[in-house]
Amino acid sequence: MEDIKRIQASVIDDDEPDYEADDDLGRTRKHAWVYIQKGPRELSESFFVEPTTSRKYNTDDSPYFTIEAVFNHKNYWINMDSSRDVEEINLEF
């Protein structure tokens, strides 16, 4: 019985919210995630992956507020206007 409780406590329920709507830090909280861009890997759409849960989010329907910086193996892009929401940012690099 203890094993079942331990396993249940460590499993992520997809019905649980990913973030708290009443977060006291709100837009000031920093967080990192993975951005997968469509292109030569035969992907038809770009999306985010939440590293803590492995959940996939469309770029227009993610729990993230804004983007401060993006990098890859060649470049580092900085968002000079971090007050803009994710949906308003051009993610074509």
pLDDT in tens, 26-43: 777 788 889 888 888 788
- As a whole-number percent, the residues of the chain with pLDDT over 90 amount to 10
The average confidence (pLDDT) of the chain is 80
Choose between 84 and 23: higher pLDDT. Answer: 84
- pLDDT, tens digit, 9 for 90 and up, residues 4-26: 777 766 665 655 555 556 667 77
Give pLDDT tens digits for 66-83: 888 888 889 998 888 878
> d(Cα 8, Cα 47) in Å, to the nearest integer?
29
Q: Cα–Cα distance between 3 and 61 in angstroms, integer?
A: 36
Distance CA 93, CA 2 (A): 49
| Cα distance between residue 79 and residue 7, in whole Å | 41
